[in-house]
Structure 1
Amino acid sequence: MVSSTETAKAIEIQPAIWADFEALMGEKGGCGGCWCMLWRRTAKEMEAGKGEGNRQAMKALFDQGEAPGLVAKAGTDVIGWIQIDRRAAFPRLASSRVLKPVDELDVWSVSCFFIDKRFRRTGLSLKLLNAAVDWAHSRGAAIVEGYPIDTPRQKFPSFYAWTGFLGTFRQAGFAEVARRSDTRPIMRKALGDDRED
């Protein structure tokens, strides 16, 4: 096993492949059998698919050929994940009273993070977020949006902050564009048109 101090300078972030994603999620499938399908399915579908059903639904996305997110690796260990896709890929956002779309702009959404417990509070979420923004930009994204928790870290266990913390998004240059709940802002980063062809 590697320690966070041993690998702080050796972390690589890359588009996820199924084997790496599955290894990080473990037997429980991330948070209680979610397999990061929460925003992609209705509440009824999520509950019915808890565990294996959600696993198969996520694997089908990987099987389509384009990664639905990025992973961080320390050597061969998979230590973190961030899911990013076009907002339209997350229909449950549209039905959320708090996180429904602010407008009709073509937005990419950061829907969740999953960090190995050994690497929480090390800055890995920020590295993943910056890499995800760059990756989306290279695929034509003009705006990236996130839905972090705005509450003191000591009052909210990191394990449950799967949409990230507000401070991470601020550090990455995101600005608040809406807030329909005291603790759940909608953050955005507008990207310039400076992609390499």
Structure 2
Amino acid sequence: MTTPSVSMWIECFEEDARFEGDGLDALVEQLVAHVRATHDVPYPEDEVRIWARNFAEASVREDGPVGRLPSIGSVEVHPVTEERIDDWLRFFDREAFPDNPDWGACYCLHPHTGEVPERPWRDVRAEMIERLRSGATLGYLAYVDGRPAGWVNASPRSTYAKYSGVDPEGPAPDTVVGVSCFIIAPPYRRHGVSSALLDRVVADGAARGARYVEGYPRRTDTGEDSTSFCGPRSLFDARGFAAAEERDTYIVVRRPV
């Protein structure tokens, strides 16, 4: 692979060191050397190296605006069908995480796989494209002035390895739409984009053959993006979701369609 010639950066996951430079391979090795010398982590060195490469490449690939807009236009929400995959790719490739390259390799695959070793972002991206095309992942894009502004993964809970153990005595997983992630581009945060996305998920539930819509807000919400990507509890409470089960780090909330 050709090493990019533009400046990039990596911040250690312990937030105690930052490395900047033009050479991808050299930058990655600096981070790996720092981790090896400074931190006792349970991850193999090759996995740390993949994570560092993903971060560095995202630091230049994610070039969308980072400033929050004072106001936005009306929000339109559409399911991500075949003709909208290019919009979805633009959103995740460039717009979703310009302020947080650490998440630039996610592409919202994690709910489906659960905890797995770090993978190159291009592999994750390719897998999600196939999932969207085949209908294995279902979600919605929010648009503002014709530009993708946010995403929600609203697939059947039966497709989520991450939530496979939820409420075993409750409704069958294939009858539940699981709202696993909201990703909102920085300019559009705290402007009601997540609300518009969730309203569309609830409105479409019956037509999709679901009996319930379910969310997984974190038990502890600091108001920061790192703890709010599943949506705050208040977002679900306002739409009649009720607590169905409490887990170690999140609460399962549910409502009938």
Task: Give TM-score scaled by structure 2 length.
Answer: 0.63
Give the corresponding residue for 2:186: 117
Q: Measured at CA, do residues 18 and 129 of structure 1 come closer, stay the same or move farther in structure 2, by a change above 3 Å?
A: same
More displaced, 158-167 or 169-178?
158-167
How many residue pairs match? The answer is: 181
Q: Measured at CA, do residues 28 and 127 of structure 1 come closer, stay the same or move farther in structure 2, by a change above 3 Å?
A: closer
Letter in 2 for 1:43: E
Q: Measured at CA, do residues 6 and 120 of structure 1 come closer, stay the same or move farther in structure 2, by a change above 3 Å?
A: closer
2:95 corresponds to 1:38: no
Task: Give TM-score scaled by structure 1 length.
Answer: 0.81
- In the alignment, the residues of structure 2 paired with residue 174 and residue 65 of structure 1 have an alpha-carbon distance, to the nearest angstrom, of 26
Kept after mapping to 1: 8 A contact 2:156/2:177: yes
Q: Measured at CA, do residues 11 and 18 of structure 1 come closer, stay the same or move farther in structure 2, by a change above 3 Å?
A: same
Kept after mapping to 1: 8 A contact 2:217/2:231: yes
Kept after mapping to 1: 8 A contact 2:140/2:197: yes
Kept after mapping to 2: 8 A contact 1:34/1:50: no
Give the corresponding residue for 2:148: 78
Kept after mapping to 2: 8 A contact 1:107/1:145: yes
- Give 1:184 deviation, angstroms: 1.4
Kept after mapping to 1: 8 A contact 2:108/2:181: yes
Kept after mapping to 1: 8 A contact 2:93/2:104: no
Return the match for 1:135 from 204, 221, 225: 204
Q: Measured at CA, do residues 187 and 132 of structure 1 come closer, stay the same or move farther in structure 2, by a change above 3 Å?
A: same
- Give 1:48 deviation, angstroms: 4.0
- In the alignment, the residues of structure 1 paired with residue 219 and residue 225 of structure 2 have an alpha-carbon distance, to the nearest angstrom, of 12
Question: What pairs with 1:40-189 in structure 2 (closer than 5 Å)?
Answer: 40-44=112-116, 47-64=117-134, 68-95=138-165, 99=166, 101=168, 103-105=170-172, 106-152=175-221, 155-181=222-248, 184-189=250-255
- In the alignment, the residues of structure 2 paired with residue 176 and residue 42 of structure 1 have an alpha-carbon distance, to the nearest angstrom, of 22
- Give 1:109 deviation, angstroms: 0.6
More contact order relative to length (CA 8 Å, sep ≥ 6):
1
Give the corresponding residue for 2:256: 190
Return the match for 1:18 from 85, 104, 108: 85
Largest Rg, 1 or 2:
2
Letter in 1 for 2:144: A
Q: Measured at CA, do residues 84 and 28 of structure 1 come closer, stay the same or move farther in structure 2, by a change above 3 Å?
A: same
1:97-140 per-position Cα deviation (integer Å, ceiling 9, x unaligned): xx564524321211111001112112221111111111232111
Kept after mapping to 2: 8 A contact 1:15/1:67: no
* Helix, strand or coil at the partner of 1:5: coil
- In the alignment, the residues of structure 2 paired with residue 39 and residue 145 of structure 1 have an alpha-carbon distance, to the nearest angstrom, of 14
Report the aligned-residue RMSD: 2.5
User: Which runs of 5 or more residues in structure 2 are unaligned?
Assistant: 1-64, 98-102
